[in-house]
Chain A
Amino acid sequence: MTLYEKIMALYPELTIDDFMTVISLQNDADGQGDYIAKWEHPTLARPTDEQLEQE
């Protein structure tokens, strides 16, 4: 399950547009995987590591 899929499972109301504007996930192709580069959603809190691990 990718980071994007985990976040979508937590917040199904998010849209692909949100990930191009107020949320930015990034993968630098360096073997470190996906990470949250920006989380500026006006109402939804940035998920914690614990929340993401539970997905």
Chain B
Amino acid sequence: MSKITLSGNASGTGTLTIASPNTSTDRTLTLPDVTGTLSTNGPAFFANGATSASLTAGTNTKVAAFSSEVFDTNSNFDTATSRFTPTVAGYYQISASVRSNTSLTVHHASVYKNGTAYAAGNLRSIASGVANNTSTVSTLVYLDGATDYVEIYAFVNATATTDTTAAQTWFSGVLVRTA
């Protein structure tokens, strides 16, 4: 028969309590047959691009527009810098949409990790410029829970500004699994 050992931590002073829910039904919680750390609800955020950001032609420009949080469960998103720096290590699904109000022929959003291009989204490239271009990006990225951060950048062929309408320019992230 396999066994269960409860092991305290010599460095800590807190008491770990395993609490039962309010139920009259017997339940069995089976632990996975792996070594690792069980996680509780991880960080998740969604922010709208409520601030108009300037995008420079021919330049991968950070979209410093995400100033309005819809939710930020672990206070890991900084609206002042439009930067997500989670405090829980793990693999995160990062998504964003960038919409510009300017007539463009090239419009391209990317996820940057620690200031370097990590994943490019769809490249909108059309023969004649049209207004209201939108480019989206979604990727899975490992963040160390300490110093790693992600931001959204955009590349356009002519100087542009981002759309501040809610739900048009946005940035979201969620912990998929811990490290």
Chain A residues with CB under 8 Å of chain B are: 2-5, 7-8, 16, 19-20, 24-30, 34, 37
Contact = CB atoms under 8 A, between A and B. Distances in A.
Contact of B62 (A3, A7, A24, A29): A29
Contacts of B115: 28
Contacts, number: 51
Nearest to B65: A29
A19 B61 contact: no
13 contacts: A2-B58, A2-B59, A2-B159, A4-B57, A4-B59, A19-B155, A24-B60, A27-B61, A28-B115, A29-B61, A29-B62, A29-B64, A29-B82
Contact of A20 (B61, B62, B108, B153): B108
Interface of B: 53, 56-64, 82, 105-106, 108, 115, 117, 123, 153, 155, 157, 159
Contact of B117 (A16, A24, A30, A34): A24
B59 A3 contact: yes
B58 A25 contact: yes
A51 to B, nearest CB: 17
Contacts of B58: 2, 4, 7-8, 16, 19, 25
B103 to A, nearest CB: 15
Given A24-B117, A27-B61, A29-B61, A34 B56 contact: yes
